[in-house]
Structure 1
Amino acid sequence: MKGAILSLNHIILDTDGLQFQAWCDLAMYEFGMGLPGKMANQLAGVQRHQALDLILKHFNVTNIDNKVELLNEQYEMYSKVIAGIGEDRLYPRAKQLLNNFYDHYVNIAINDIDEHAKEILQKLKIDDFVDAFVSPLDEENPYLEASQELDVQPAACVGIGSQTNEIKLMNETGVISIGVGDAEELKKAKYQVSQIGDLKYPMIRKVWEDNELEGA
């Protein structure tokens, strides 16, 4: 195992929560009121344009021609939310896992879904652990790009993610997939845990070795 490709959301910290805060700020600015907490689950993990549509529907807004402007506003508000975060946002054991990879000479890439990963990791003071950043907005398969950036074969990498589409892309690339979250949703992962705190380096190593033997 020479590479690890990680997502941020539910692996390093809760970016869904940060995004929701920015959406609430946008709603307050544009419509004079925030969003109900129950909408957090609806907006979690969806594309920003889809989230905006859900918010407009919530406020019964049907005819609107400035969606791009609203998305840009939310992007700026998200940047402001990130500017205010600190190390307390880091999931317990996430830094230890990064340390474990570092100590075993496993290079780390981040699948930068919302294009703020560098800034977020700097705020969490863990950016020094990361060797590469890739964006799914720029690449058809960020896991293939990440393995190339790390200069290792996909089969020599593990991927850790919390979304079904992430697991799918890992499997298509040959990266050993590890899912964090709902067991049913992530059932196609090679290995799955309910939360990042349950994921230990020795087990990750064993999962990779077992799959390497199967592919031999």
Structure 2
Amino acid sequence: MLQNMKGAIFDLDGVIVDTAKYHFLAWAELARELGFEFTEEDNERLKGVSRMRSLDILLEVGGLDFPEEEKIAMADKKNKLYVEFINKLDQSELLPGVKEYLTGLRERGVGIALGSASKNAMFILDKLNITDLFDAVVDGNKVSNAKPDPEVFLTGAVELKLQPEECVVFEDAEAGVEAGKAAGMKVVGIGKPEILKEADLVVAGLHELL
């Protein structure tokens, strides 16, 4: 599967870098301002989910509801908090084996794309100093449907000028694995086998594939 792939499409959070902790801190801060606690356990429900859907889940946890206009302002506020956190990112926060694995793929002539719901993807790649390792970046600014919809990965294949079956997806979230399979691609799960049981292969991180 990995030997024959012509394209590799990577999720960002939890695969390339662990920015999930910063998302959590930003959401938790917003919840505190709204008068309730948002726990790490609650945060599990937000993995691989779009910003507005994440806000809906957070408000559900707090038993609150707001008009759409206010919700957009809240999502923007959360993003500002998050950007403050990730502003301090540097290459030291790359997950183990990431740079080596991406460099190895480039040497083999494999097309590399990012497939992430994050609207801050380019900013993060720049901070990590690995933008030049990607042939295509498909993020929340380019697609409208969140995972488990396969749009982000299908768009990645188009940008790499490849067929879906020629690509392998690297994902840490259940919704992302589902999206990859729905796109007709093989999927490498990054994380726990019991959570990512639909993936074709599960590893703890890209360092295991070196």
Task: Answer whether TM exceeds 0.5 for this pair.
Answer: yes
1:88 to 89, 92, 102: 92
Do residues 52 (structure 1) and 58 (structure 2) align?
no
Residues 47 and 112 of structure 1: CA distance in aligned 2, closer, same or farther (over 3 Å): closer
Does the CA contact (< 8 Å) of 2:121 and 2:139 recur in 1? no
| Contact persistence 1:10–1:196 (CA under 8 A) | no
Distance (whole Å) between structure 2 residues aligned to residue 149 and residue 191 of structure 1: 25
| TM-score, structure 2 as length reference | 0.80
Runs (5+) with no aligned partner, structure 1: 201-216
Letter in 2 for 1:132: A
Q: CA RMSD in A?
A: 2.6
Aligned residues with identical type, % of pairs: 30
Amino acid at match of 1:102: R
Task: Report if aligned partners of 2:169, 2:186 keep a CA contact under 8 Å in 1.
Answer: yes
Quick check: 1:109 aligned with 2:113? yes
Could you say which residue in structure 2 is the equivalent of 1:213?
A: none
Q: What residue number does 2:172 align with?
A: 162
1:175 corresponds in structure 2 to 185
Q: Bigger CA drift: 108-117 or 49-58?
A: 49-58
Deviation at 1:135, TM superposition (A): 3.2
3-state DSSP of counterpart to 1:5: strand
Give the 3-state SS of the residue equivalent to 1:183 in structure 2: coil
User: What whole-Å deviation, never above 9, does each CA across 1:21-42 have from its counterpart, x for those lacking one?
Assistant: 22244345x3589855555445
* Aligned-partner Cα distance in 1 for 2:60–2:177: 30
Determine the structure 2 residue equivalent to 1:138. 144
Q: Who is 1:148 aligned against? A: 158
SS at match of 2:104: helix
- Give yes or no for contact 1:13–1:90 (8 Å, CA) kept in 2: yes
Q: 1:150-193: CA deviations, max 9, x gaps?
A: 11222222111112222222223332211111212222222111
Q: What pairs with 1:15-94 in structure 2 (closer than 5 Å)?
A: 15-27=19-31, 30-31=33-34, 39-41=42-44, 43-56=46-59, 62=64, 64-65=66-67, 66-94=70-98
Aligned length: 198
| TM-score, normalization by structure 1 | 0.78
Q: Contact (CA 8 Å) 2:101, 2:207: kept in 1 or not?
A: no
CA distance in 1, matches of 2:80, 2:131: 22
Pairwise CA distance, 1:49? 3.5
Q: Deviations over 1:108-157 (max 9, x none)?
A: 10012112111101100111101111236435522221111011222222
* Post-superposition CA distance 1:54-86 (Å, at most 9, x none): 5446666x3544222111111222222222211
Structure 1 residues 80, 197: closer, same or farther in 2, change over 3 A?
same
Letter in structure 1 aligned against 2:166: A
Matched, 1:100 2:110: no
Unmatched 5+ stretches in structure 2: none
Report the CA distance between 1:95 and its aligned residue: 0.9
Are the structure 2 counterparts of residues 99 and 70 from structure 1 closer, same or farther at C-alpha, using a change threshold of 3 Å? same
1:144 and 1:38 map into 2 onto residues whose CA distance is: 31
